Structure 1
Amino acid sequence: MFPETPAAAAALTVATRFCSPALLNHSVRAYLWGAHYAAARGIAFDDELYYVSALLHDLALTTEFDNHRLPFEDAGGHLAWVFAAAAGWPAERAAHVEEIIVLHMRDDVSAAADPESHLLQVATSWDVSGRRPEEFSPEVRAEVLGAYPRLTFGAEFLACFEDQATRKPDSAAGRAVAGGIEGRIAAHPLG
């Protein structure tokens, strides 16, 4: 189900240590939604790279790693680069995990251009605000949510984004709050 590599195990350890249960479940769901989406569409991807990216993508929303100047996705990308370098990944792979995390809050990336970035964008936009509900069948939804429930994710995530928007109004989080993410989270088909 999950990649069984030292880096994957370490990413889970880090995310478990610093993320709330709701944020941890979101990160795992992001991996699972993306993996299901890729399987349904025949998108080949680097499983370990995508898993590490998914587990660490919101780490800079936590108190311990919040950066008061950089958007959370940029700070999170830097953290993932440090993680990857410490895991012994080559420089190109470390740079890629950083890029995936930064790009998950940017304009859509095609699966052909960068499958892991595409998967994280699709998965997180579905899990946070209900974008592309047609991509995830009721059976897949039940399986993923049965194992990794949302808990208080919507309210917790919105509070993080509102905090980011207050301090960094020009960030992607700031634009999301200004663009009505609160209503999209409230209307999410998963609750």
Structure 2
Amino acid sequence: MTTDVDALLTPPTAVAARALEVVRTWSPTALVNHCLRSWAWASVIASSAGLEPDRELLFVSAMLHDLGVTPSFDAHTIPFEDAGGAVGSVFALGAGWDPARARRVGEVIERHMWTSVDPDVDVEGHLLEVATSLDVSGVGFDLVPPDVLRTVTAAVPRLDFSATFAGRIHEQAGRKPGSPAGRLDRSGNVAAGGARWDAFLA
């Protein structure tokens, strides 16, 4: 399979491009790359599964989904995905989206930390959950062709993503043990996912 990585990673709209600017401004490169890879995996999975998401909504959600683990947007009393979802909704309102569609950004971001999302209920939430699970935990390698996994990861490398993200999730879990971050931290899936990716890319 031949993949035009530049086309795959290009924001689909001007608003989507601004969401990429936001994540680049407020997140380290390893986290920016995770967001871009998550978008790529979601796009490829959608195509192979015959799903038709709102691509602008999905891209914006993918770019902003982890802002809640960054120092500037971390909330000490609510799960990081809820904080990130609020930021996403505010971004969308500022971009001129109507309130219902802006709220969808928040829903998609919040649901990416669910253990599963029914695509018949929320196709964008489903795709972001599956894509981020692949990128973080190494679950679902079979959903994306191996050459695409390698080509995209070469274009937007993992760098120290697994270690950095594991540290941020562990810190979140310490303050919010009952949150999805607490569950993820206890599962050990971030470190395991890093090892799975290292083995795959070796």
Query: Does structure 2 retain, via aligned residues, the 8 Å contact 1:104–1:117?
Result: yes
Instruction: Give CA deviations for 1:77-99 in whole Å, capped at 9, x if unaligned.
Output: 00001001100101110010100
Do structure 1's residue 48 and structure 2's residue 56 form an aligned pair? yes
Do structure 1's residue 11 and structure 2's residue 37 form an aligned pair? no
Partner residue in 1 for 2:79: 71
Do structure 1's residue 97 and structure 2's residue 105 form an aligned pair? yes
Instruction: Give CA deviations for 1:101-155 in whole Å, capped at 9, x if unaligned.
Output: 0000013112222111011001000000011111122111112112110000000
Query: Does structure 1 retain, via aligned residues, the 8 Å contact 2:20–2:63?
Result: yes
Partner residue in 2 for 1:24: 32
Partner residue in 2 for 1:130: 138
Q: Which runs of 5+ in 1 are unaligned?
A: none
Q: CA deviation at 1:183?
A: 4.3
Q: CA deviation at 1:184?
A: 2.0
Query: Does structure 1 retain, via aligned residues, the 8 Å contact 2:162–2:191?
Result: no
Partner residue in 1 for 2:92: 84
Partner residue in 2 for 1:142: 150
Partner residue in 2 for 1:167: 175
C-alpha separation in 2, matches of 1:186 and 1:12: 24
Cα distance, 1:149–1:186 mapped onto 2, change above 3 Å: closer
Q: Which runs of 5+ in 2 are unaligned?
A: 1-6
Query: Does structure 2 retain, via aligned residues, the 8 Å contact 1:3–1:47?
Result: no
Do structure 1's residue 61 and structure 2's residue 78 form an aligned pair? no
Q: Could you state the TM-score of these two structures normalised by the residue count of structure 2?
A: 0.90
Q: CA deviation at 1:5?
A: 2.2
Which amino acid in 1 is paired with 2:161? F
Q: CA deviation at 1:30?
A: 0.5
Count, aligned residues? 191
Q: Could you state the TM-score of these two structures normalised by the residue count of structure 1?
A: 0.95
Q: Percent identity?
A: 44
Q: CA deviation at 1:182?
A: 4.5
Instruction: Give CA deviations for 1:4-44 in whole Å, capped at 9, x if unaligned.
Output: 42211110110000110000000000100000111111111
C-alpha separation in 1, matches of 2:20 and 2:55: 14
Instruction: Give CA deviations for 1:32-60 in whole Å, capped at 9, x if unaligned.
Output: 00001111111111110000000000011
C-alpha separation in 2, matches of 1:124 and 1:135: 12
C-alpha separation in 2, matches of 1:84 and 1:123: 22
SS in 2 for 1:69: coil
The Cα RMSD (Å) is 1.3
C-alpha separation in 2, matches of 1:65 and 1:55: 14
Which stretches of structure 1, 4 residues or longer, exceed 4 Å deviation after superposition? none
Partner residue in 2 for 1:176: 184
Which amino acid in 1 is paired with 2:74? D
